[in-house]
């Protein structure tokens, strides 16, 4: 059976709620693949990392992370930098014996750059980026940062991650 690792920054509080990522995970699982979702559980929630398996072939690993939403810029930045290491440790602990055939990850891809690179190599897996918006171009378009500013330089990481993905998913498995 195909094992798919799905890395996201969405909370995945319930796999039964409607949303682009939850719908995608359920749809893939319904088609007979094992789906292993890794999602953040922010520190403010006060709960530890835990694995939930609401269905036989759908598993959600809620990883305790720093706070990445509704916080100041410094805390968000530090938490974002730490998330790759937190996800890597949790994946090794909870999914260490599983070979992944495919890795799906969502924007912003710079959050997962090194993690995806290492997992892709370790598992010889195909990688797919779900592209919703592109940082930093979206921030330039919104007037949040200026073209060629220091934050604009993150485009190199973003471009690197986009080129690592075998395909970029706009929508998948309709129905």
Q: State phi, psi for 80 to the nearest 5 degrees.
A: -65, -40
Do the Cβ atoms of 33 and 64 come closer than 8 Å? no
pLDDT at position 131 is 74
- DSSP assignment of 15-83 equals TTS-SHHHHHHHHHHHTT-EEEEEEEEEGGG----EEEEEETTEEEEEEEE---SSS-HHHHHHHHHHH
pLDDT at position 7 is 95
Query: Is pLDDT of 118 > 90?
Result: yes
- DSSP assignment of 108-146 equals -GGGGHHHHHHHHHHHT-EEEEE-S--TTHHHHHTTSS-
Residue 101 burial class via C-beta count within 10 angstroms: exposed 0-12, middle 13-18, buried 19 and up? middle
Query: Is pLDDT of 147 > 90?
Result: no
pLDDT mean over 130-146:
61
Q: What is the distance between the alpha carbons of residues 89 and 173, in angstroms, rounded to a whole number?
A: 31
Q: Where are the domains of the chain?
A: 3-169
pLDDT mean over 144-150:
56
Domain 3-169 coded CATH 2.60.40.10? no
pTM over 0.85: no
**20-44 tens-digit pLDDT:** 889 999 999 999 999 999 999 999 9
pLDDT at position 175 is 34
**57-94 tens-digit pLDDT:** 999 999 999 998 899 989 998 998 899 999 999 999 99
């Amino acid at each position: 059976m195909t094992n798919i690792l799905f890395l996201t920054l969405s909370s995945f509080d319930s796999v039964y709620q409607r949303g682009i990522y939850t719908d995608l995970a359920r749809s893939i699982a319904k088609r007979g693949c094992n789906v292993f979702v890794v999602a953040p559980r922010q520190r403010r929630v006060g709960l530890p990392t835990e694995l939930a398996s609401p269905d036989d072939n759908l598993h959600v690993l809620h990883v305790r992370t720093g706070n990445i939403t509704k916080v100041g810029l410094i805390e968000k930045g530090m938490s974002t930098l730490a998330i790759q290491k937190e996800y890597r440790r949790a994946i090794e602990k909870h999914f260490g014996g599983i070979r992944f055939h495919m890795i799906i990850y969502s924007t912003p891809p710079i959050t997962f750059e090194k993690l995806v690179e290492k997992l892709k190599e370790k598992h010889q897996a195909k990688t797919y980026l779900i592209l919703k918006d592109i940082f930093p171009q979206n921030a330039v378009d919104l007037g949040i940062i200026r073209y060629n500013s220091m934050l604009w330089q993150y485009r190199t990481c973003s471009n690197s991650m986009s080129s690592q993905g075998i395909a970029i998913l706009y929508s998948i498995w309709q129905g």
